[in-house]
Structure 1
Amino acid sequence: MADNIITVTVVTPYGIQYSHRAHMVSVKSIDGDLGIMANHEPIVAPLKISEIRVKRTDNTTHVDAIAVNGGFIEFQDNVATIVADGAERARDIDLSKAEQEKSEAEQKLHKAESQHNIDEQRRAEVALKKAMNRINVSKHL
């Protein structure tokens, strides 16, 4: 049984945000979706602003959802290390705050578009993606 177990760790500049043993981790890389299980060949891949799903070993029906703000995943020797600027488990997301951030990002985006300010538009688009990701992940409790 131990042969099909991996360790999944999510690290941000604030330290380890998540660490568990798992049967599988699913991520969205910039090149497509990845499902990584034990004995997968080593890989390093950049990640999108997206949800990570971890199928834990302690309960076969339990899957943790984690919102990440991009980053990358490295998998080697049955250890998946995800490094991201920010990461939050679904249970830790403040939904009302995420919805407020979404509203603010939408307002900034409309303003930047009307002023043809490409730099501000890109920043607002990223902020909107982060807020929408947090909202979507928070619903996976």
Structure 2
Amino acid sequence: MNTFRLEIVTPERKIFSDDVVFLAVRGVEGDLGIAAHHIPFVTALAIAPAKVTFPDGREKRIAVSGGFLEVRGTEATILAEAAELPEEIDLERARRAKARAEAAMEEARRRTDAEAKIAYVKAELALRRALMRLEVGGGDGA
């Protein structure tokens, strides 16, 4: 079975490094599937889980909060702004972040000042990160 080395790195640390047979990610322009010997490229990533498939068929989801994917030769690297393995996710913290983001979005909707739109977009991104963390961590996500 053809494999390739996947590494997921954040500014703080290496989150993941292993041989995989498939990687599914969401780029800013849509979903991508990467297998061994994929053509080289670089793309920006959206806030969405990365799903890896191992040679034995196991799958793992990893929370990835934006960044870039680089594919070259027999290697793929995700340079993420933030990333977490499912076992590292604090579900209670993610639920609190979701509630804060929803409240901030509601507050921004009610405002009419120039900063309201920026506040809304920031809250929406925070909500996306919280929902992804709940999904990957096995929380309710809703």
TM (norm. structure 1) is 0.92
- Match for residue 93 of structure 1? 89
- Match for residue 69 of structure 1? 65
The separation in 2 between residues aligned to 1:135 and 1:37, in whole angstroms, is 27
- Match for residue 125 of structure 2? 126
Structure 1 residue runs of 4 or more that deviate by more than 6 Å after TM superposition: none
Asked if 1:44 corresponds to 2:42, the answer is yes
* 1:46-76 deviations in Å (ceiling 9; x for gaps): 110000011112x32x111101111110000
In structure 2, list runs of 5 or more residues that go unmatched: none
The separation in 1 between residues aligned to 2:121 and 2:103, in whole angstroms, is 13
Q: How many residues align?
A: 136
Name the SS of the counterpart of 1:96 in structure 2: helix
Identity %: 35
Correspondences of 1:103-122 after superposition (within 5 Å): 103-116=99-112, 117-122=116-121
The residue identity in structure 2 corresponding to 1:115 is R
The residue identity in structure 2 corresponding to 1:67 is A
The separation in 2 between residues aligned to 1:33 and 1:118, in whole angstroms, is 27
TM (norm. structure 2) is 0.91
The separation in 1 between residues aligned to 2:100 and 2:110, in whole angstroms, is 16
Name the SS of the counterpart of 1:41 in structure 2: coil
Using the TM superposition, give the Cα deviation of residue 139 of structure 1 relative to its aligned residue in structure 2, in angstroms.
Answer: 2.1
The CA RMSD over aligned residues, in Å, is 1.2
* 1:7-54 deviations in Å (ceiling 9; x for gaps): 110010102111111011110111111110111110111110000011
The residue identity in structure 2 corresponding to 1:9 is E
Using the TM superposition, give the Cα deviation of residue 136 of structure 1 relative to its aligned residue in structure 2, in angstroms.
Answer: 1.1
